[in-house]
């Protein structure tokens, strides 16, 4: 049976891609904790904005050794085993959090869970890259990204209702969904790590920057200045984007003190619904446009969507803002992974997918920490003005990279 024309974009992938898609839906449906982490730290544990920002930074710092470890091990021992072992350990550390109520021990258990989750992430991305090639990779990243957000369309809404009276189930539900998703991976996804014969540099399915390389990670990485520039610019993008989980919940709580958690949950559901319904048409509309130019459009949408929050204090405008920056998120998420994959040698996929996200994720790590201190000295309103300037600046830089790649006739 053929897929409808709109969904035909997702035909012809290996079976494992579709299993990973369903596993993403299940896992994301139970991703209750991270969207509500700021509220949990500030409301339940009574931490200030600055302290909460420092904890968010600490989670990111903790993820660095996790990602490096996971990337190295996935290149050596395979992707599937690393995903199951480390993601399973992450879920185990969430279970006791449900019994501890509002204990200060919970943040430390969450740090361990984030460490193990970050160790599994490079293996997931490397697995997707292994199972695709330059011709179908953007569509595959699009499908998996959509699956993740199909789950997120439901998860935060459920978590918003659990948050006030059933906080324990935020942790237990997250753990259960993780275990179910790992059962799907364990039984139905085959190991994907490339065999030595696939390293042949005459392999026509490989993008020119995916050819096998010899040498250590950093020596190979330094041969790819365009990728490093892309990572640096994307770091500013993620710095701005990170505020949807840090400043927005605080702003919503100020505007709607009686229903802040529920309203924030509806914004996160709006975000996920935009992604679910727009990912496929956006992928179809932009598939012939250069990856870097799609990233330029993403940055422009971030500038408008987040910048307008300087003026916003009503629910309909919060919804409109969410729709705009969520569209930017779709473009960024479906194109950034493709650019990285097309500049990653087949021999170093696990390691590149640990180091590059650490560089781009630095913005996500530093965003809450730096903006938390900034807000303490100024205001939420002033913070959005600064973030608008950063979004415009990074968009200009991405456009310059697009022109540079185009002049060198690099097909990305």
Q: What are 110's two structure tokens?
A: 């969450």
Print the domain residue range for 291: 15-193+217-406
Instruction: Identify which of 118, 79, 126, 145 has the alpha carbon closest to the alpha carbon of residue 352.
Output: 126
Our count of domains for the chain comes to 1
pLDDT at 202: 46
Q: Rounded CA gap, 224 and 206, in Å?
A: 16
CA-CA-CA-CA torsion sign (333, 342, 130, 115): negative
* Spatial contact of 98 and 171, defined as CB atoms under 8 Å apart: yes
**For 200, left (φ over 0), alpha (ψ -120 to 50), or beta?**
beta
Q: Coil, helix or strand for 386?
A: helix
Residue 411 domain flag = no
Q: Name the one residue in this structure whose structure tokens are 């998703």.
A: 181
C-alpha 401: how far from its chain's center?
22
Confidence (pLDDT) at 412 = 61
**Positions of the chain with pLDDT lower than 50, given as ranges:** 1, 202
Each residue of 58-80: pLDDT tens digit? 887 888 888 888 888 988 888 89
The percent of the chain in helix, strand and coil, each rounded to the nearest 5, is 80, 0, 20
Task: Judge whether 306 and 236 are in contact, CB under 8 Å.
Answer: no
Cβ–Cβ < 8 Å for 364, 242: yes
Start-to-end CA span in the chain (Å)? 32
- Here the CATH number for the domain that contains residue 264 is 1.20.1250.20
Angle at 193 between CA 192 and CA 199, to 5 degrees: 125
Q: Is 103 helix (H, G, I), strand (E, B) or coil?
A: coil
Cβ-Cβ contacts under 8 Å for 409 (sequence gap 6 or more): none
Q: What tokens does 370 get?
A: 């730096």
- The pLDDT of residue 86 is 94
Assigned domain for 3 exists: no
- Residue 244 is predicted with a pLDDT of 92
Other C-beta atoms lying within 10 Å of the C-beta of residue 93:
20
Q: Is residue 244 part of a domain?
A: yes
CA-wise closest residue to 125 among 340, 332, 278, 322 = 340
Q: Could you tell me where the DSSP H helices lie in 287-379?
A: 291-307, 315-341, 349-360, 362-377
Is 1 contained in some domain? no
Contact 294, 405 (CB under 8 A): no
Alpha helices in 206-314 (DSSP H): 217-222, 225-241, 247-255, 260-286, 291-307
Indicate whether 208 belongs to any domain.
no
Q: Are 128 and 17 in contact (CB under 8 A)?
A: yes
How far are the Cα atoms of 116, 230, 289, 342, 356 from residue 224, in angstroms, in the given order?
29, 10, 22, 11, 12
pLDDT of 1-50, one tens digit each? 355 555 677 888 889 999 999 998 898 887 777 767 777 888 788 888 77
Residue 203 falls within a domain, yes or no? Answer: no
Answer yes or no: is 5 within a domain. no
- Is 263 contained in some domain? yes
Three-point CA angle 75, 78, 182, nearest 5°: 130
The string of DSSP letters for 63-80 reads HHHHHHHHHHHHHHH-HH
Q: pTM of the entire structure? A: 0.75
CA distance 135 to 190: 22
């Amino acid at each position: 049976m053929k897929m409808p024309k709109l969904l035909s974009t997702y035909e012809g992938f290996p079976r494992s891609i579709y299993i990973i898609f369903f596993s993403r839906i299940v896992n994301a449906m139970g991703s209750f904790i991270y969207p509500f982490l700021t509220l949990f730290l500030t409301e339940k544990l009574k931490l200030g904005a600055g302290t909460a920002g420092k904890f968010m930074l600490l989670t990111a710092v903790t993820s660095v050794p996790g990602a490096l470890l996971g990337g190295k091990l996935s290149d050596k021992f395979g992707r599937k085993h690393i995903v199951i072992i480390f993601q399973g350990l992450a879920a185990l550390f969430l279970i006791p959090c449900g019994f501890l109520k509002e204990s200060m021990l919970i943040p430390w258990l969450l740090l361990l869970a984030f460490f193990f989750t970050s160790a599994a992430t490079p293996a997931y991305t490397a697995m997707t890259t292994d199972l695709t090639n330059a011709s179908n990779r953007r569509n595959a990243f699009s499908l998996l990204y959509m699956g993740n957000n199909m789950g997120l369309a439901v998860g935060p809404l459920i978590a918003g209702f659990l948050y006030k009276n059933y906080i324990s189930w935020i942790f237990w539900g997250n753990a259960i969904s993780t275990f179910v998703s790992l059962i799907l991976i364990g039984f139905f996804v085959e190991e994907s790590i490339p065999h030595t014969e696939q390293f042949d540099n005459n392999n026509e399915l490989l993008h020119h920057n995916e050819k096998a390389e010899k040498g250590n990670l950093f020596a190979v990485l330094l041969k790819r200045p365009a990728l490093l520039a892309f990572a640096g610019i994307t770091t500013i993008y993620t710095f701005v984007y990170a505020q949807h989980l840090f400043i927005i919940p605080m702003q919503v709580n100020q505007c709607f003190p009686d229903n802040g958690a529920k309203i924030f949950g509806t914004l996160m559901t709006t975000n996920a619904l935009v992604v679910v319904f727009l990912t496929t048409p956006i992928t179809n509309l932009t598939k012939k446009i250069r990856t870097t130019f799609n990233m330029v459009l993403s940055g422009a949408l971030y500038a408008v969507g987040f910048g307008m929050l300087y003026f916003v204090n009503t629910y309909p405008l919060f919804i409109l803002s969410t729709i705009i920056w969520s569209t930017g998120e779709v473009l960024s998420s479906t194109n950034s992974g493709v650019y990285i994959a097309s500049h990653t040698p087949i021999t170093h996929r696990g390691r590149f997918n640990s180091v590059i996200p650490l560089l781009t994720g630095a913005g996500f790590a530093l965003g809450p920490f730096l903006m938390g201190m900034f807000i303490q000295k100024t205001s939420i309103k002033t913070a959005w003005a600064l973030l608008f300037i950063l979004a415009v600046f990074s968009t200009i830089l991405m456009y310059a990279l697009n022109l540079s790649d185009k002049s060198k006739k690099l097909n990305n």
